[in-house]
Homo-oligomer: A and B are copies of this chain.
Amino acid sequence: MTKLNQIKTIAILTGGGDAPGLNAVIRAAVRTALGRGLTVWGIKNGFGGMVENKMMQLTDESVAGILPRGGTILGTTNRDNPFNYPQTQAGAVIYTDMSARALNNLRQAGIEALIVIGGDGTIKIAGEFHQLGLPVVAVPKTIDNDIPVTERTFGFDTAVGVATDALDRLHTTAESHHRVMVLEVMGRYAGWIALHAGMAGGADCILIPEIPFNTGSVIAKIKERQQRGRQFSLIVIAEGAHALGGEISIARIVEGSHEKVRLGGIGEKLAREIEELTGMESRCTVLGHVQRGGTPTAFDRVLSTRYGVAAAQSVLAGHFGIMVSLQKNRIIRVPIADIAGKANNITPEDELLLAGRAIGVCFGD
């Protein structure tokens, strides 16, 4: 960790996909920094704005009223990497290293340190800039809660809330109409949203990327419920979940012949399989982007504020090359280097997973 004092001017940047709470982090970092006499710039549209020199000064006025708003006032993109920057020349896109230009832009503006709010990819780039001498503090951002060494990321609680609301709505229809309702939620590599929303919404099966599922187990669960007089079932499935072996066959054939067409995802495939194997009407809903926008929950606003304050305080303390992180419910600082190559997945010993097993939830295994 680098130590620097006497920093007078900083910038903030948001990168990657949307997550409710981004504005709350910005507000907290800006207000903390301004309160200690710093000048704060916002870099627009992620790392692209650093290359293109698009900035706006952030004052107390800039961050007024943004706490409850989704999105980011700075704009963002999840495409531009200054170390491999796309440029259109003579009709073709070529990629060049524009990191020196990006650094120079900051230098020209008198910016001495950078707070970067983003996911895996964004933080990796932040680490590379740190290696080049730019003092950097990172704030982890992911809806999926899959960033390592931090227990809970902002936006996750909101996503879980949206998915749970959806489950509550599907529940009444499933029950009245004797249906199997499948809800596909976000989570490519980690099943945190599915696990939490499934437990909160009373799902009968929760299928996550960490546990390849056996369609037979899901069918058995549905039938066991039928025998107890429950003529419906609720299933939550993470978009990244996958079946063991060759069970979801109908879908695979289609997929094989049209690989480039985005067909229905795993949830749709599972619903079709269930309908075929049980004869019960089955429907799939894919929540998609609704999970990652809009006003954050109170929990996420508080968590975002804590992250934002902690990031600014790390700058003020002269600690750089770190990511602020939540561990055992406290915000700590961990070296950016420490998170490389790690993941945050649900383990077989996860307490909530075990609680699910205790109350009879089927995890497809």
Contacts and interface: CB of A to CB of B under 8 A. Distances in A.
Nearest to A231: B75
Nearest to A296: B200
Interface stretch (A109-117, A132-140, A162-170): A162-170
B358 A202 contact: no
Nearest to A271: B262
Interface string A28-48: 100110010000000001000
17 contacts: A18-B176, A65-B202, A68-B171, A70-B169, A70-B171, A71-B176, A160-B299, A168-B294, A200-B298, A201-B301, A261-B263, A264-B264, A285-B286, A285-B289, A306-B352, A329-B329, A330-B351
B175 A71 contact: yes
A287 B262 CA distance: 17
A250 to B, nearest CB: 8
A239 interface: no
Copies in the complex: 4
A301 B268 contact: no
A31 B228 CA distance: 14
A177 interface: yes
A188 interface: no
Nearest to A331: B351
A309 interface: yes
A175 B44 CA distance: 13
Interface residues of A, number: 94
Contacts of A162: 169
Contact of A28 (B18, B168, B176, B359): B359
A298 B264 contact: no
A157 interface: yes
Contacts of A289: 169-170, 173, 181, 283, 285
A329 B331 contact: no
B172 A70 contact: yes
Given A254-B261, A351-B331, A359-B309, A301 B164 contact: yes
B285 A77 contact: no
Given A71-B176, A76-B177, 14 more contacts: A22-B176, A28-B355, A35-B359, A68-B168, A68-B202, A71-B173, A71-B177, A164-B301, A166-B290, A200-B302, A200-B305, A257-B257, A263-B264, A309-B354
Contacts of A127: none
A319 interface: no
3 interchain residue pairs of minimum CB distance? A70-B172, A169-B294, A71-B176
